[in-house]
Each structure stands twice: as C-alpha cells, then as structure tokens.
C-alpha cells in the first residue's frame, strides 16, 4: 500500500494509518462469524455439503463436497466463495448484526 507521499507502507505502517491489517485473534473472530453465518444458512435450508456442492455446480462452480466441508469447517474462505454459496442456496438477505452485544 502506498501512502499520500507515494512511499510504500508495510503492514505495521498500514495498521498505524487505518489500514485493514488485523491481529491473528481478530482475524479468527471474523472467520468464526463468516463460518457461523454460512452454516446457519445451510441449516436453515436443511442442506448438506453434498447438496451445496450440487447447487454450486448448477451456478457454474465446481468443487468437491469434501473440499467445501473443509473450507467451511476451517472458516477460511474468500468472500467470493461466500457469495457463491449464498447465491446457490437462494439467500437474498444476510443478517450481519453483532450478536455479541445482545443480552
């Protein structure tokens, strides 16, 4: 990333200047949230990983059931994969409210 003067900023400088670098702990929290949302949508629709794989293939995304299960289980996946899954499941709206603040 380049700063306003045209100088390259490393990860630590980006963090100081409002960049998107996250600590490992914070990253795990976001990964867990993405995983929770995706798994909740699967459960809400009563879909298995095998069914999700078939639906993904129907929208042009070929992936093995086991690979999908592993990716979701780890919680490490790109936003494009998340969008593909949501589209394949027919999800129109995703609730991203912070549930940790609810009592």
Handedness of CA 82, 52, 56, 65 (dihedral sign): positive
Higher-confidence residue of 92 and 13: namely 92
Picking from 24, 20, 38, the residue whose alpha carbon sits closest to that of residue 75 is 38
Q: What is the mean pLDDT of residues 63-67?
A: 96
> Is the confidence at residue 65, as pLDDT, over 60?
yes
Picking from 53, 17, 26, the residue whose alpha carbon sits closest to that of residue 1 is 17
User: Per the structure block, which two tokens stand in for 29?
Assistant: 């929290």
pLDDT band at 91 (very low <50, low <70, confident <90, very high): very high
Could you read off the pLDDT of 16-45 as tens digits, one per residue? 555 567 788 888 999 999 999 999 999 999
Domains of the chain: 23-92 (1.10.260)
What is the average pLDDT value for the chain, to the nearest integer? 85
What per-residue confidence (pLDDT) applies to 22?
Answer: 77
> Is the confidence at residue 9, as pLDDT, over 80?
no
């Amino acid at each position: 990333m380049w700063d306003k003067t045209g100088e390259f900023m490393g990860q630590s400088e980006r963090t100081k200047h409002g960049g998107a670098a996250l600590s490992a702990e914070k990253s795990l929290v976001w990964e867990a949230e993405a995983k929770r949302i995706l798994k909740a949508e699967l459960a809400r629709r009563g879909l298995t990983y095998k069914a999700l794989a078939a639906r993904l293939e129907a929208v042009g995304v070929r992936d093995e059931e086991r690979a999908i299960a592993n990716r979701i289980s780890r919680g490490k996946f790109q936003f494009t994969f998340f969008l593909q899954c949501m589209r394949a499941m027919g999800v129109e709206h995703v609730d991203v409210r912070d549930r940790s603040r609810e009592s």
